[in-house]
Amino acid sequence: MSDAKRATSIALLIAAAVLGGIVFVTSAANLTGLAGLFGQADAQRASDEEAVATAEDLGQAFSSVAERVNPAVVQVRATKLSTGRRDPFSMFGGGGGGDQSGLGSGAFVSADGYVVTNNHVVEDADELSVVLFDGRELDAEVVGTDPFSDLAVLQVEGDDFPSVGFGDSDALRVGQWVLAFGSPLSEELSNTVTSGIISSLGRFSGSTDPRGRPTIANYIQTDAAVNPGNSGGPLVNLRGEIVGINSAIATRTGTYNGISFAIPSSIVRSTVEQIIDNGVVERGYLGISFREAPATLRRRNGVGPGAAVVAGVSEDSEGRTPASDAGLRVDDLITGIDGVTLTDNRQIVSLISNKRPGDAVEITYNRDGDERTARVTLGRRPSAEDISQANPNARPNRQREPARAPARAEVLGMTLQTVTPQTARQLGGNVQGVVVVDVERSSEAFRDANITPNMVITEVERQPVASVAEFEAALADVKRGDTFLLRVQAGRDASFLTALTKP
């Protein structure tokens, strides 16, 4: 073979080798990519399995809590013997014609037979029994009740009962898992367990119960399913500790609509301990009446939305005035208690009432724009009846005077009229000032100052005004753009401080 042909053959072999290498490398790369796809699928499968394992772990946690707590949960059966009369506020409802029964839930909180439940479950009952997890039905006696917190403690004879302890409701966080236990709707549904999360904390309802009695009204909100019959049952965390006692639902149908409320364990524990130790509950008392501070007054003094304005001073059950003795006055704006900044004025009730007589609290308040503190030694809370009678109605002036057309004025979005003796009697007292006949809904007076028709303005900038003319004269002394104070009487005895800005 010639040298030329040999060189050509070698070149062709080299070219073929190079091309073969390229094809090999390309094929290897493609195979490597395919292997990557297989790897991604394996990773996704592993991730899915991990998610399933996590869900199964949560389910196991629920089951473990249910197995630990359920033996301590009881069904409370209450019977009211027929008297032929109906109490519209009783949970038993109905009228005459036979005994009436009610259903609730509860939980053993000690091995010696003490059971916590709601006051409204047992109130008015003539006979009580509890049905245990093992099916036994035992007679129960009321150790003590506390309508103020809607809690009650029962006791059954015996010992060695399974019980559940208390957790720290103050450590709860929104989004945390909880389980609700109880007997919803029917005796046949005893020891039902539902799950949910903490939807919100510090929910405040009205300040009175259906019978008009004052209440703490500070609740944990959860979406765990709670229905009639669940009342008094425990709300527990994943450690199996009571963090609340189920008490109420928000509903338009009478059954569960996704919003349930529980009394925090911080209140439950203190109440239960006092009832077991003493049979009664003694609560601390600040010795004031208060209301939400109007937005205009808050802006004027530079305080937050939860501030409460002191509307009056009252005595405790021993005749002391704790807040007044510590320097607080009517019209002061309370902004915090023991370092807790108020986000809702109704927090005062729960923060103070969960303490005991003799406890000292630090009150942060604002007086005319200056922030101050006072250390108050709490008194003993009077009974609901004593509180309602603390401010007796003023005797109306019965003097008869000739009728006359009262002066009127339209100012700051309000229609004002001088209070005549006849108007004063209609308002239920001997009051002087200008009555708000009407107020525009878009005005600052209505929107931010909380002024509504039939209220009476008695002071402008802390000076009494007895007529429309005096009101207009006082207003003339206020500079445009300045915010000025008004004292307003709402009802026979209740008055509060508010503010308006002169345009």
Residues marked active site are found at 120, 150, 231
Token readout for 95 is 């009228």
Q: Coil, strand or helix: which one is 362? A: strand
Q: Measured between alpha carbons, how far is 342 from 67 in angstroms, rounded to an integer?
A: 39
Cβ-based neighbours of 23, under 8 Å, separated by 6 or more? none
d(CA 385, CA 221): 30
CA–CA dist 449, 234 (Å, integer): 42
Task: Determine phi and psi for 354, rounding to 5 degrees.
Answer: -85, 0
Burial class (CB in 10 A: 0-12, 13-18, 19+), 55: exposed
In the block, tokens 């009639």 appear at 228
CA nearest 352: which of 433, 450, 286, 255?
A: 286
**Helix, strand and coil percent figures for the chain, each rounded to 5:** 25, 30, 40
* H runs (alpha helix) in 163-313: 265-278, 295-301
Q: Which two tokens stand for residue 387?
A: 């509180």
The DSSP annotation for 415-462 comes to: EEEEPPHHHHHHTTS---SEEEEEE-TTSHHHHTS---TT-EEEEETT
Please state, as a whole number, how many other Cβ atoms lie within 10 Å of the Cβ of residue 473.
13
Q: Is the dihedral of CA 383, 384, 385, 390 positive or negative?
A: positive
Q: Which amino acid is at 214?
A: P
Cα–Cα distance for residue pair 260/217, rounded to 1 Å? 14
Residue 32: is it exposed, middle or buried by C-beta count within 10 angstroms (0-12/13-18/19+)?
Answer: exposed
Strand partners, 264: 244
Find residue 10's DSSP bridge partners: none
Type and span of the H or E element at 286: none
Q: Which two tokens stand for residue 138?
A: 């035992």
Q: In the 8-state DSSP scheme, what is residue 72?
A: G
Which residue has 């006791």 as its token pair?
A: 155
CB 364 within 8 A of CB 348: no
